[in-house]
Each structure stands twice: as C-alpha cells, then as structure tokens.
Amino acid sequence: MSDLLPGGDGVVRCAWAGTDAEYQRYHDEEWGTELRGDRPLFEKMSLEGFQAGLSWITILRKRPRFREVFSGFDPHVVAAFGPDDVDRLLQDAGIIRHRGKIQAVIANAGLVADMAEGELDALLWSFAPGTHTPPAAAAEVPAVTPQSTAMSAELRRRGFRFVGPTTMYALMQSSGMVDDHISGCWRAAA
C-alpha cells in the first residue's frame, strides 16, 4: 500500500485517511492541527483511551454520541458521574461499552477538575518535542517516542488511567504536538 492516496477530489493525503469522507475531513481539518485548552485535550485524551485496540474511524463515527453522554467532556460534570452513570453508559450502544475505559474517563475527569485552569494543557504540551521531522514514509512513523513515554509516566504518576505511551503518542499526533503527515501529503510541513 502506498503511503499516500489521491482522493476523488484530487487532493493527495496520507493513505490512512482512505476514501471515507469523514476520515478525510478529520485528516484535513483536525489531525496534526494544534489543539489547546484543558477541555478539548481532556476530550482527545479520553477518546484516544477509548480507541485503544480499535480503529480511530470507529471512535470518530461515535464521537457525537460520546460528546453527548459525557456532557461535552466537561471534566467538572464528568467527575461527578457515579455508579448509575457507569451502568447507563454500559447500556449505550452509541459508544464503546468498556467498563474500565468508562471508569477511567470519570476518574481522569476528577483529576483534571482538581487542576488549575490551563494546567492540563501546559502539562501535556510540556512533552511536545522542540523539533520534529515529519516522516518521508509511513514506516518512519513511530508508535512510541521518549516524549510519549515520559508523558505517559507523568500522567500515570498523577493517577491517570488508559494513558499508555502508544495512546499518548496518538494524542500528540492528533493534537498537533507532532506533525506526522507523510511527505507529499498536502498537509505535510514544508
């Protein structure tokens, strides 16, 4: 499989975006674009945790429902979820029904809610590498980096769950901390 794929619109993208319109929109408008703010980063962290072991397109298609049932990923609201909320969420076919992941989002929300405004943003972005060379080929894209490993370790030290090094590297890619658009993709850094 080629690392790049020309779309029906003539735009050359990273091949992982495929031909699905929603996946292409995500690639073009979100993935690798700088994302700042505690709430958006908490949402991204939560969704990346749900994605573990699954395809991102699955999460992307379920994202509107995730946002609805997790109160827009407002950490102060989600932190107050209790056992009845967990049971309710486990019955919702519109999301990934995994008890451990649901409980992790709630627990993580409590940790974020206890932080000062802007602290999660500053913490996560403190692990962004000072320089990053975009890959020339998909084979050059790592699954884990020293920075994602350090981010994961610090989050775990603080009590966060479902924040392994691979999941945190996916967060770094999706939130623009690194640019892993393949050389030749219209979004790749020049």
The catalytic position among 26, 30, 154, 186 is 26
Please check whether residue 18 is in contact with residue 6, taking contact to mean a CB–CB distance below 8 angstroms. Answer: no
Rounded (10°) angle between helices 38-51 and 165-174: 130
Cα-trace Rg, the chain: 17
The catalytic position among 30, 56, 125, 186 is 56
- Is 23 an active-site residue? no
The catalytic position among 16, 23, 48, 169 is 48
- Is 56 an active-site residue? yes
Q: How many angstroms separate the CA atoms of 78 and 18, rounded?
A: 34
3-class state of residue 14 by DSSP: strand
Nearest-CA neighbor of 39 among 140, 149, 148, 115? Answer: 115
- Is 117 an active-site residue? no
Residues carrying an active site annotation: 26, 48, 56
